[in-house]
Structure formats: structure tokens, C-alpha cells
């Protein structure tokens, strides 16, 4: 059965998944780049961005696991781009250039309709205006039995967590403090939602924690 998974979601020591004031100059919010430093040197990241080199080991293992058996992605509009409100035009096609790293259908949550965008490498962005459940249904259909990955941002992850739809979540807790921004787990009762810590491993760059949701009575 297809699962909904969160992988390599980076958070700061004080719980923020993004810094404040996202913009074209600061796609992860001001200071937000600091929580992702663990992944940039890895072979998985470097190969995604055209380099054949990169570090191996625990950090790379966790980064690579986030792409295994993934047949579709879901992301919020804030992860797709910096604009708000009605789409100003069709020029913006994401942060990633002509060949995004997803190579699957990607379903973007939005309040404003837009035609699908077909990119190089097998990525097609579909814009879903009728909510998280509709996006998940479409993503599971597109995944054809493989799993669906929620990419972000923070608000999108929180919506799927609160709805009890996430089966597995991997957080990479970075040794960085942001002070403000978008808090990932504030007000979230993970045990009540059925989550248990099933794996953890530390490196100099991050503490990796995997939480798995156990269904009631399971």
C-alpha cells in the first residue's frame, strides 16, 4: 500500500523549519539555509545538481532514502515559489531550473488554478486547488503503488500531520538556531497522533530522527 512519507525535513535546534520573510533572495527565509548544511555535501545532493562527487555515510544514507520508492511528491505553493495570490504570469516554473530533482509528478497546493507544467527529466507540476486530501488522492493515483513524499514547506507538513495522513517522518535536526520563523511542531501532540520514534542517528552535521505512525490498535 502506498504510504505518505516526509524525508530529510531539516529543522533548527529551536524547532524552526524555515526562517522568516521568504523571498526570491531568501527562498528558505532569512537564515533558513543554515538548517540544510548537513545535506549539501552529500553525494545524493551533489548528484542531483550535476556533480558526480560528494560525501557518503550516515547523512548521505538518510538523504538517499528519501528518494527510494517515491512515485509522486506533494508540496505547498511556498515551496514552489515566492509569489502569493493569483499567478502573475506563467514565467515562474520553480526554483530548480529546467530539470527539477523530482522526476515524478509533483502536486502543488494552491488557492489559484494554473495549467500543469511539464519539465525535463519526468517532472510535471500539477496545481491542486481543492485541498490536501484531493492532492493526496491524485498523488497516490499517479504514484501507481509507490509512496508519496511531502516535500514541504512547514505549513503543508503541519496540515498533513494534523490530518493524521503521514505514515513516516524523518527530521534532520541541525545544530543551528534561527530564533524565529516557521515552527514545525509547535502545538503538535505527536504521541496522540500515533507517532513513535523508531530510529535515530547522530552525525556532526545533524541528528536524524525517524518517527513512524502506528495505527490505533496496531
With beta carbons less than 8 A apart as the criterion, state whether 16 and 184 touch. Answer: yes
| 116 located within any domain | yes
How many structural domains are present in the chain? Answer: 1
Q: Which domain holds residue 136?
A: 4-14+33-81+98-213
Q: What pLDDT does residue 218 have?
A: 56
Q: What pLDDT does residue 217 have?
A: 58
Q: What pLDDT does residue 53 have?
A: 87
| 129 located within any domain | yes
| 92 located within any domain | no
Which one, of 211, 143, 122, lies nearest residue 171 by Cα? 211
| 86 located within any domain | no
With beta carbons less than 8 A apart as the criterion, state whether 139 and 108 touch. Answer: no
The answer to whether the pTM exceeds 0.85 is yes
Low-confidence ranges of the chain (pLDDT < 50): none
At 200-215, the pLDDT tens digits run 999 999 999 999 998 7
Strand-strand pairing, 147-152 and 4-11: parallel
Q: Which CATH number covers residue 68?
A: 3.40.430.10
Q: What pLDDT does residue 89 have?
A: 79
| 134 located within any domain | yes
10-39 burial code (b ≥16 CB/10 A, e <16): bbbeeebbbbeebeeebebbbbbebbbebb
Amino acid at each position: 500500500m502506498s504510504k505518505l512519507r516526509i524525508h530529510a525535513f531539516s529543522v533548527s535546534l529551536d524547532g524552526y523549519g524555515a526562517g522568516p520573510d521568504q523571498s526570491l533572495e531568501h527562498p528558505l527565509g532569512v537564515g533558513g539555509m543554515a538548517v540544510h548544511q548537513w545535506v549539501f555535501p552529500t553525494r545524493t545532493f551533489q548528484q542531483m545538481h550535476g556533480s558526480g562527487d560528494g560525501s557518503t555515510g550516515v547523512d548521505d544514507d538518510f538523504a538517499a532514502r528519501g528518494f527510494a520508492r517515491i512515485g509522486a511528491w506533494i508540496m505547498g505553493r511556498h515551496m514552489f515559489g515566492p509569489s502569493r495570490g493569483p499567478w502573475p504570469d506563467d514565467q515562474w516554473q520553480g526554483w530548480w531550473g529546467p530539470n527539477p530533482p523530482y522526476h515524478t509528478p509533483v502536486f502543488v497546493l494552491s488557492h489559484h488554478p494554473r495549467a500543469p507544467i511539464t519539465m525535463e527529466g519526468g517532472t510535471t507540476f500539477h496545481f491542486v486547488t481543492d485541498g490536501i486530501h484531493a492532492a493526496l488522492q491524485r498523488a497516490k493515483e499517479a504514484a501507481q503503488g509507490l509512496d508519496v513524499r511531502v516535500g514541504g514547506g512547514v505549513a503543508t507538513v503541519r496540515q498533513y500531520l494534523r490530518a493524521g495522513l503521514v505514515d513516516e517522518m524523518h527530521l534532520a535536526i541541525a545544530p543551528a538556531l534561527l530564533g524565529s520563523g516557521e515552527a514545525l511542531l509547535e502545538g503538535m501532540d505527536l504521541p496522540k497522533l500515533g507517532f513513535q520514534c523508531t530510529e535515530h542517528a547522530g552525525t556532526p552535521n545533524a541528528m536524524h530522527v525517524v518517527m513512524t505512525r502506528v495505527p490505533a490498535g496496531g
